[in-house]
Structure 1
Amino acid sequence: MITQRSFDTKSKYGTLYLVPTPIGNLEDMTFRAVSVMKQVDLIAAEDTRNTQKLLNHFEIETKQISFHEHNTVQRIPELIDKLKKGISIAQVSDAGMPSISDPGHELVVACIKSEITVVPLPGANAGITALIASGVSPQPFYFYGFLSRKPKEQRDELAKLVNRQETLIFYEAPHRLLKTLKSLQNSFGGLRAASLCRELTKKHEEFIRGTLDQVIEWANSTTIRGEFVIIVSGNAQPLEENKIDNLMENLSLTQQVDIYIKDGLSVNESIKKVAKAHNLRKQVVYNEYHGIK
């Protein structure tokens, strides 16, 4: 167990500050965030060019060092060494909270192991901002972020999410939005409540609210621009395992597979589940389901 007192003045090391930055509107920068970034010795930025625009706007003259997903292995030991020498560092991502779909977590873990103080600042977050205006139940919620870009991995991810009762939060880039929405529709059905939240806090902020079927219709009829948060309602009535067991009792293997498919699983996941329940090889159930002799 490790206990940290964030503002212990006796610490011999520097402090790592996790500083959120605006997700669009610069007026969402907090007074505290500006103050910390002026006071620290160094700013570890995901993209120094992007962060420099922010620093210029708020007249912050603190030096920067790059820290992004492609240089973490090299950079973390260097940053830890600086912190151990008493240098305080503010870590920022391009927008929003560090570590949330952005670099930062590995550095936090390394600091904790080295007993270096980690101080988080509150601030802008796209997922929560979208959630509270989505019209979908805000709690409980399950933040997922970006789905895998690989089709099979994405299907597997969605198969694990289909029965979750919490409201789901996803991030997506404009060029992948329609494809991701169709994957959600295929896995969850088209009647789930959904909200597409575009360009949050910016001039062209927009909310498209409806069902998955309806927001796909919108996406098919427009030029898609801007970064998106996708909010999807949870499964209000997931099929519980004991109910499935009762249903399965007098059904054939094929009918059992169909029960799982109706519950939202893919054909492959359903076949695996039935095979496991009966202690059969997956191929046996596959052949039975597809009528292969």
Structure 2
Amino acid sequence: MRVVFAGTPEVALPALAAIAASGHELIAVVTRPDAAQGRSKRLVPSPVADWAAKHGIETLKPQRPRDPDFAERLRTLQPDVCPVVAYGALIPSEVLAIPSHGWVNVHFSLLPAWRGAAPVQRALLAGDADTGITIFDLVPALDAGPVYLREASALGDSETAGAVLTRLAHRGADLLVEVLDHLADGTAVATAQGETGITLAPKLTVDDARVDWAGSARTIDRQIRACNPSPVAWTTHRGERVKLWLARAHAGTVLTPGVLAVDKRSVHVGTARGVLELLQVQPAGKKVMAAADWGRGLGADPGSFE
């Protein structure tokens, strides 16, 4: 089949590479426009655009998918199908109708659970035991289309959102090619999702990432893992922001919420239930470091998080 792939971040690259290596013809990619990066605000192409440029694949970067020039170019390309992994914009009905086999989306949850931009992050925050991959036919309503394939995957007790997404991205790439193969030979069957068990997964904000030490150690540990690598959980210490990259919850020990207990090898923080051992932190203006190294620089009175 003639394929136009839509995706933007690094998590989309395994699927893109798998399609390029398959028996299908990758004729173009669609991705978000170049974005300003760093203090210089230099425009940088997305990982998908960068991959396409290196492989000589035509790249479409519409400001909005409803732009007439984009729709006209897509019609000219005559794709049979448009696979999607984390493209980052809603596709209007008139553009969804262009490929004969539609737009086939890879979503990292067991739909209809966690419809939206941050399914893995929200699953971790909620303490779900598992997540998964759903491949479905894109429709105008958010992540509501009929499903070609679902596969469950357990969430590890110490996995970060980044680690889970990397793992699911590689497995999802194989499953996506399998679905494309079935579409090509006419054996693909899509089943309606149903209306029960729907939950929403909006993108995590910086406010979502602020730690409340009145929570339990287990809850805060989930928050830290859900926010890694973005937007990164944070708190304040002596008036400056400290990012929390990795931690580990311990039950049974009592320490006042927010209060730091530091020794040569570890940093612990009190919570409403249990204590949290910090493993990796990032003080304001510095690189990520071992929490124990940061703790040794706090002096005799390490104080507390605000």
Does TM, normalized by the shorter one, top 0.5?
no
TM range (shorter): under 0.3
Tell me the TM-score normalized by structure 2. 0.27
Tell me the TM-score normalized by structure 1. 0.28
Q: With a CA cutoff of 8 Å and minimum separation of 6, indicate the structure with the bigger relative contact order.
A: 1
